[in-house]
Amino acid sequence: MKTISTLTKNDLTKAFKLEQICHAIPWSKQTFFSNHGNGYLNFKITVDNQLVGFCICHQAFDEAELFNIAIHPNFRKQGLAKDLLNHLIERLITITSPSPITTLWLEVRQSNSPAMRLYQSLGFNQITVRKGYYPTTDGKREDAIIMAYTLAF
């Protein structure tokens, strides 16, 4: 059974382990744990009570930014990331205070075509490219594609 709920402080250790499994260059523990609390709308997705994915979203004024999303490799290609993002978007649409969220932003590695296809399928549009933004495992840099989703309210 699949469930989407708030990523709580008690979930952070398990979610950080998932971060390390899912990303070639994961966030540091300090960065991961600091992206939680006021101003964040973070969710987890569980399958049969096992945490298999999460998303970390920061809200500021009338915008939100998806900082991080991860799905365990054994659970990919099952629509879980799409479910998680749809849940996030639905929640962002309900925010009215201090002001409604009008745009959800994200950046994605240029080489991450599965993620870009997912974002485009949900209605995200490419806005610009941030040259040399991401480090790579071979010591080089990779461009980030900046995408935005306009929330209807």
Rounded to two decimals, the pTM is 0.94
In the chain, domain spans: 2-150
What pLDDT, in 10s, does the model give residues 9-30?
999 999 999 999 999 999 999 9
State both tokens at 89: 């978007």
d(CA 120, CA 77): 16
Q: Which residues are catalytic?
A: 107, 119
State both tokens at 41: 């709308």
Count of alpha carbons within 13 Å of 47, Cβ hemisphere only? 13
* Averaged pLDDT, 84-112: 94
d(CA 132, CA 60): 25
Task: Supply the pLDDT for residue 14.
Answer: 98
Which class does domain 2-150 fall in?
Answer: alpha beta
Q: What is the CB neighbour count within 10 angstroms for residue 37?
A: 9
